[in-house]
Every structure is written in structure tokens, then in C-alpha cells.
């Protein structure tokens, strides 16, 4: 079926009613960290977003034609290929960025609350939300068996967002004595932690005077 859609005679239909929506979906996903939906959900959402893109495109084109007619008094004819690429590439990318900024900023949350409608956070898992755009910080990772790991989560650290295998890479680990002083290991060591049987992750901000080099938290 897919090969039939991408044939030359049906490519424009495919581009308008699937590809445009998929571009919106993909660009929007760059702004929100979370699980990737199932293939069926992606196809359905791409079609719906393509229809929204079509509606907005038709409204914009109508407004542009009216505007040109009033300003110049003549009808302006645009190159068909340029219009097509604007319709299936440029506008979807812009809409995807706008939708993504909206989801990240939560601009529509206040409106939904005023309408007494449920507000669903775009990031489905609290784990993904906790690490999304996380500034460098110290972390205390505790496991159910009593193991506690003290480390530094910085620019070279990574928290996996795979729902089937959550793990975290800390670029530097510390030992903490009875005096609660964090001491970096010598030589410096990093660690990859599987978060199976995780109990909690605590985030400690870096003191302002230690921004250039990780030192003990307050």
C-alpha cells in the first residue's frame, strides 16, 4: 500500500495528507521528551495534522490573494512548485515548532483550566520530565537494597528515556563521609547505573561559586 502512495501519480496526495502531518509531528517531538507512540497512533495523528495543515494553508493563501489584490490591484500567480513545497515542507515545520513551543511552555494549560477541562502533561513519564532540560546538578541515587550513589549530572551525563530500559550515566561519582563532605574519586571515575529497583533520585543544585567546577553541594 505504501508503495502505491509514493508513486509519481499519487505522491502529491501522499505529501499533502500524510507527509505534512508527519513533519509537524516530528518537529513538535523535538520540543517534548517522552515515549514514542505506536505506529498506528503516528499514522492517525499524521493524517489529522495534515488536515489541520491543509486548513491553515488554504486560509493563508486566501488571505494572501486578497491582500495582493487590494495592494496591487492585480492577481499574483505564484509558481506551483514553490507553493507545493511551502504547503508540505515550510508550513508544517513552522506549525510543528509552534505546537512544540506551546507544549513545552504550557500556554494552553490556563485556558483548559478555565474551561474546566483536564490538563494532560505532554511528557508521560515523571522520569523523563525530571531530566528534561535539567541544569548540571549533584544527584543522590538510592536503591531499594540500601545502595546509595552520589554523583554529578552534567553536560556529559545522560539519562536514558527508553521505557524498556531506564539507566543513567553520571560523568563523575563521589564518596561522602560522616562529615557529609563530598569527595571526588581519584582518579576521577564515571558510572553507568541501571535503575532497576530504584527508590529515588534527589537533585541538589550546584552552589553559584562552583559553577565552573563541580564541588560540594550546600
Query: How is 57-97 classified by DSSP, letter by letter?
Result: HHHHHHHHHHHHHHHHSS-----HHHHHHIIIIIHHHHHHH
pLDDT for 6 equals 56
How far apart are alpha carbons 3 and 194 in whole angstroms? Answer: 42
Listed in sequence order, the residues at least 6 apart from 2 whose beta carbon sits closer than 8 Å to its beta carbon are none
The DSSP secondary-structure symbol of 197 reads T
CA distance 190 to 209: 23
Residue ranges per domain, the chain? Answer: 2-114, 126-210
Instruction: Report whether 19 contacts 88 (CB < 8 A).
Output: yes
Contact 163, 35 (CB under 8 A): yes
Distance of CA 126 to the CA centre of its chain: 14
- Quick one: pLDDT at residue 30? 77
Residue 5's φ and ψ, nearest 5 degrees, are -70, -30
Is CATH 3.10.20 the right assignment for the domain spanning 126-210? no
pLDDT at 51: 93
pTM tops 0.95: no
DSSP H or E segment with residue 126: helix 126-131
What is the per-residue pLDDT for 91? 93
Res 29: pLDDT? 76
**What is the block-wise mean pLDDT of the chain (218 residues), using blocks of 10 residues?**
59 86 85 64 86 92 76 67 89 89 68 57 66 83 91 87 76 85 84 87 78 56
Q: Are strands 172-176 and 158-159 parallel, antiparallel or unpaired?
A: unpaired
Please report the pLDDT score of residue 41 as a whole number.
75
Tell me if the bond preceding 187 is cis, omega within 30° of 0: yes
Q: Are 49 and 17 in contact (CB under 8 A)?
A: no
Amino acid at each position: 500500500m505504501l508503495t502505491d502512495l509514493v508513486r509519481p501519480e499519487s505522491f502529491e496526495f501522499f505529501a499533502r495528507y500524510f507527509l505534512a502531518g508527519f513533519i509537524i509531528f516530528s518537529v513538535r517531538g523535538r520540543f517534548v521528551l517522552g515515549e514514542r507512540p505506536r505506529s498506528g497512533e503516528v499514522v492517525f495523528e499524521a493524517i489529522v495534522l495534515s488536515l489541520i495543515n491543509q486548513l491553515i494553508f488554504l486560509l493563508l493563501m486566501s488571505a494572501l490573494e486578497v491582500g495582493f489584490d487590494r495592494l496591487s490591484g492585480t492577481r499574483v500567480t505564484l509558481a506551483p512548485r514553490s507553493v507545493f513545497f511551502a504547503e508540505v515542507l515550510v508550513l508544517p515545520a513552522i506549525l510543528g515548532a509552534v505546537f512544540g513551543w506551546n507544549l513545552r511552555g504550557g500556554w494552553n494549560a490556563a485556558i483548559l483550566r478555565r474551561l474546566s477541562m483536564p490538563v494532560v502533561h505532554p511528557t508521560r513519564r515523571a522520569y523523563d520530565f525530571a531530566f528534561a532540560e535539567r541544569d548540571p546538578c549533584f544527584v543522590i541515587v538510592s536503591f531499594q537494597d540500601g545502595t546509595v550513589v552520589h554523583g554529578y549530572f552534567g553536560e556529559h551525563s545522560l539519562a536514558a528515556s527508553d521505557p524498556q530500559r531506564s539507566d543513567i550515566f553520571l560523568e563523575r561519582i563521589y564518596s561522602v563521609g560522616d562529615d557529609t563532605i563530598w569527595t571526588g574519586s581519584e582518579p576521577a571515575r564515571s558510572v553507568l547505573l541501571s535503575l532497576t529497583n530504584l527508590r529515588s533520585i534527589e537533585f541538589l543544585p550546584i552552589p553559584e561559586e562552583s559553577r565552573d567546577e563541580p564541588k560540594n553541594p550546600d
